[in-house]
Amino acid sequence: MILDSKIPAGPLAEKWTKHKFNMKLVNPANKRKYDVIVVGTGLAGASAAASLAELGYNVKAFCFQDSPRRAHSIAAQGGINAAKNYQNDGDSVFRLFYDTIKGGDYRAREGNVYRLAEVSVNIIDQCVAQGVPFAREYGGLLANRSFGGAQVSRTFYARGQTGQQLLLGAYSALSRQVANGKVKLYPRTEMMDVVKIDGHARGIITRNLITGAIEKHAAHAVLLCTGGYGNVFFLSTNAMGSNVTAAWRAHKRGAYFANPCYTQIHPTCIPVSGDHQSKLTLMSESLRNDGRVWVPSTVEMAEKLRKGQIKANDIPENERDYYLERKYPSFGNLVPRDVASRNAKYVCDEGRGVNETGEAVFLDFRDAIKRDGEDTIRARYGNLFDMYQQITGENPYQVPMMIYPAVHYTMGGLWVDYNLSTTIPGLYALGEANFSDHGANRLGASALMQGLADGYFVIPYTVGDYLAQIGPSPVNADHPEFDKSIQEVKDRIQKLLSIKGSKTVDYFHKKLGKIMWNECGMARTAEGLKQAKADIKALREEFWKDVKVLGENEELNQSLEKAHRVADFLELGELMIDDAFNREESCGGHFREEYQTPEGEALRDDENFAYVAAWKYLGEGQEEELHKEPLEFENVKLTQRSYK
């Protein structure tokens, strides 16, 4: 298959406008004849379901939580980008486009990223109209702050709970359509498979998480808005329920999976405190506006700190190394996440880590509090400081926070074209579930932007174009393909329940996570990846022989839920290793130690690897087939990324 990105011809700034005009439309009176399934109700899913229902389509929306309000989108803290230039500091649509391309280390499509920057300005207006309580300046105008990878202030925020407020806005729009009868909501329901008829996606198979009932749902198009796969590492900033299952089952039905090795490590997380943890807690990147990152200048001083002989506040200014400010004077503490994360690892590897494990650095607000006053800092970040204090028992107004990088966002996902269509006609992927517009590294405050851009402003046009072409002939779930898929789902469930092994699902998930973090985390080597591939294969075999899944299917069974998801993670983990091994360069969040500049920065190989890696599933036990979508850069010049 030739991967056709369907990027429209013509000047960059005119592509989306012309494309919208050239797409086919569905007559308003005919929209009620079409059914659309939306899986996932976070920002991408809720905004898509609400928008499509508002247009007149019949929508079925599915989420495994008890309410769309619990989608992991609520965990986003610091803000959402938009090129409104309210600060009059030189921002523009083109600058947001450029910063995003550069921040992603030149591994994203120009056309998609420009469209994202272009519609970003509409997102803010949409959300304000919904009542999202963005922070405002004294005069009443919307406030902005800076985020990593940009030298302008373009991030709109609602204290440290921006994701939650944006989701409540989308949820209110969704709830209106539920009340109108245009959206049927299915909470506590998990997608188990995609159903294809004559090569087109025509529905899904689900499991009711309360009763265990396996059900079938037909539609003219299916939208996957199911988030990222960071929990393949076990410990991540993702919610415990976040998983790859919907995207992975679609992949096994023929949807290509793109750039799976591109994982974003977030530099500002509360450090690991022990084996008892099931997830990690993120501290917003917005804190780096006012917090200064540092470690002691010497290993000896750091050792005293780790042994408890001295406290952070005892270390004089001349013995502190503000290493990001020292190495990157232009951007300082607001370098992109991959750069900040790798540098934290470097100083800790040197023996200058500041907590008992030696894997933490300081984020210090002493100078900001002296400059602006505690009340000002409290107004900006109060809920984040409270959260930190509740988790660690330390008061960040009085002592520096301790942070360390952790797995956060995944830039990889299902391959999609400009219309957000996967390689299965009729199956679309939105938000973090697709391989996205972020290249090899996402700039902070861009995930919320992409999810809402896809749901509010892109998919209503592009799915309409597809529906107009296939026509409104009725779809129903009586086709034999639905029953065939149901039987396959039931067989898989029975297989998991019948193993009756001796090890818990969490045992396998934790082992997989350690392999992935050690060999495919912040740094990768060819030797480590080879070993990881063998280790995961062995772990997968052991899983299918010795996993212990308690209970039955016909009930609430969280052990069974986890088993499904971990089985998919084991397969995905192997593909991530293959993708990382194949990419013999360093770019963004993918850092191969063999390929770095003398200063320790990522060293790209544009001649051989300026492409999207899209993997095709060939069947059980077979190696996946690599397809390449070349990336062409006509508007930005490929250069070595520098934030100095």
Catalytic residues: 337
Neighbour-count burial of 389, counting CB atoms closer than 10 A to its CB (0-12 exposed, 13-18 middle, 19+ buried): middle
The bridge status of strand 58-62 relative to strand 183-186 is: parallel
**Contact (CB, 8 A) for 599 and 577:** no
Q: DSSP character for 590?
A: B
**What is the H or E stretch that residue 325 is in?**
helix 323-327
Q: At what angle do helices 558-582 and 480-499 cross, to 10 degrees?
A: 100
- Tell me the C-alpha to C-alpha distance, in Å, between residue 166 and each of 71, 142, 153, 442, 485: 12, 15, 19, 19, 36
Neighbour-count burial of 180, counting CB atoms closer than 10 A to its CB (0-12 exposed, 13-18 middle, 19+ buried): exposed
- How far apart are the C-alpha atoms of 581 and 592, rounded to whole Å? 9
Residue bearing tokens 């039955």: 552
- How far apart are the C-alpha atoms of 408 and 429, rounded to whole Å? 20
- How far apart are the C-alpha atoms of 388 and 285, rounded to whole Å? 14
Dihedrals phi, psi of 70, to nearest 5 degrees: -95, 5
**Contact (CB, 8 A) for 384 and 77:** yes
Q: What is the dihedral of CA 391, 394, 398, 404, to 10 degrees?
A: -60
- Tell me the C-alpha to C-alpha distance, in Å, between residue 362 and each of 293, 397, 402, 438, 584: 5, 13, 5, 28, 33
Residue bearing tokens 């949807």: 255
Identity of the residue numbered 148 = G
